[in-house]
Structure 1
Amino acid sequence: MAQDFLPGMESSAISVLKRAVELDQSSRLQESLVCYQEGIQLLLDVLKAVKDESKKVHYREKIKGYMDRAEQIKDHMNKLKEEGKYHEQVKIADNSTGFSYESLFKPYIRDGLTEVWVEDPYVRHVHQLYNFLRFCEMVLKGPCKVKTIHLLTSKDEERSSQQVSALAEIRQSLQSENVCLDIQFSSTIHDREIRFNNGWIIKIGRGLDYFKKPKGRFSIGYCDYDLRECHETTVDIFHTKHTKTT
């Protein structure tokens, strides 16, 4: 039975590892490490299913090469983290796709994450409130058990009741998932920053609002943010052993 699925397993492994190499070459280390780890596991599954001994030798060599590279990346990242010098930058081009919250944040939603801070002055209009809701959903789907999400934003003076009502609904919904949403307002907030208590800090030039308006309610990209066109923006990723908590 395993032989029937072998071509698909091989194809999946090749696809993930190709992406790992591309990210590696672009110096997007944390993302490449996650892809290497996923790809290696897929190749191990292929190795278990392969019967031909020559193919087994081939896959063992491939797995060893990818494992060695993954270990090199991990050691290099740990050194940079210890020295407080870790920094990656991702440039999102105008009209580009493939940058959903899941794609962008998935590599960092791990390692014992339990608390998240979102500082974004523009969580006010309806589409921005939906963006924040989608971000919360993405966090909930992660492998870690997040207990608290903090939001610091500015108040919409023109539509204050709509903003407050929407955030209250999000808070209530998160409570049903045993997650506390702490909401604070500031009239002077300007910077946009997302912090995880596992040490990762992500700064996006446009905050969470980097997606373009879809062409219509029934157009591709309306539901799947990976297919939604983006505005041009820059994402800076840092790591610190001492994450700010206030």
Structure 2
Amino acid sequence: MSAPEKLVKKAGPILCDAVNDEKAGKISRAIIRYKQGIELIAQAMRIMPLGSADRDKIMKNFAIYVRKVADLEYLNKTETEVDQYKIAANSIGHSYQRIFTRCCDAQLRMVHIQDAYIIAHHQLLNFVRFCELIIPLSVNLLVITLKTGEDARKNLTDFDELARSLEKRGVTLQVDFSSTIHDREIIFDNGWVVKSGRGLDYFKPPEGKYVLGACDMNQRPCHETTIDYLKRKT
């Protein structure tokens, strides 16, 4: 039996226990076990050739369990407000590094983004910038999930390109579409929750191609918004 097969076989009973825990209403324990199983499958996928039939087959089941965890983490939480960060209209100095660094650490395994508006080109670029930030700060990150609006289906090719890039870093991207979501929040599975009315899209467009803020988001003026930091308890 190959190393990937051993890892997948080891994950099987853990995931079965997770399913049973969920059915029994033991949601917190189910989430823990789902994550344990997911981590074993992720280890298997990392040592399998990209594009292989066996890997693609495992990926289908992996995606099911990842979405299960994302849905449970959205539903099964209480939140305690920790901090509030206000961004004034036209102010600068509010890059993603300033906003999200506190949420990233070695304990982070999954990040779940819910934002109905990852649709326009600049919104996709914002999502890429967010991924670029959190990956080097979260050395054990396994999964990024995005739930966005139905209109974002037109960007499937772009999401696939980003997924292939992330896969080279050992991170799986899963994108789902919904016609009903409207809230914008990011759940980090180390306990942090970040809520903002504008989500990732709080930067104003640069006023030219060769101006401050064209490349450095810390130099770009922002829309007025408030960002709430919360700690999740399950």
TM class by shorter chain equals 0.5 to 0.7
TM-score norm. by structure 1 comes to 0.61
Letter in 2 for 1:88: D
Aligned to 1:137: 132
Aligned to 2:85: 90
Aligned to 2:183: 191
Percent identity for Structure 1 against Structure 2 = 43
Shift of the alpha carbon at 1:155? 2.4
Shift of the alpha carbon at 1:217? 1.5
Q: Which shows bigger deviation, 163-172 or 127-136?
A: 163-172
Structure 1 residues 179 and 209: CA distance shift in structure 2, 3 A: same
Shift of the alpha carbon at 1:165? 1.2
Letter in 1 for 2:101: K
CA-to-partner distance for each residue in 1:11-38, whole Å, 9 max, x for gaps?
Answer: xxxxxxxxxxxxxxxxxxxxxxxxxxxx
Shift of the alpha carbon at 1:143? 4.3
- For residue 124 of structure 1, the aligned residue among 108, 119, 122 is 119
Shift of the alpha carbon at 1:145? 2.0
Distance across 2 between alignment mates of 1:128 and 1:85: 29
Between structure 1 and structure 2, the one with the greater Rg is: 1
- For residue 110 of structure 1, the aligned residue among 102, 105, 108 is 105
- For residue 218 of structure 1, the aligned residue among 206, 210, 216 is 210
Paired residues, number: 157
Q: For 2:108, what is the secondary structure of its paired residue?
A: coil
Aligned to 1:169: 161
Letter in 2 for 1:137: E
The answer to whether the 8 A contact 1:124-1:155 is kept is no
- For residue 147 of structure 1, the aligned residue among 136, 142, 148 is 142
Aligned to 1:232: 224
Shift of the alpha carbon at 1:144? 3.2
Shift of the alpha carbon at 1:214? 0.4
Shift of the alpha carbon at 1:141? 1.8
Structure 1 residues 147 and 103: CA distance shift in structure 2, 3 A: same
Q: For 1:184, what is the secondary structure of its paired residue?
A: strand
TM-score norm. by structure 2 comes to 0.64
Q: For 2:126, what is the secondary structure of its paired residue?
A: helix
The answer to whether the 8 A contact 1:199-1:241 is kept is yes
The answer to whether the 8 A contact 2:91-2:221 is kept is yes
The answer to whether the 8 A contact 2:81-2:228 is kept is no
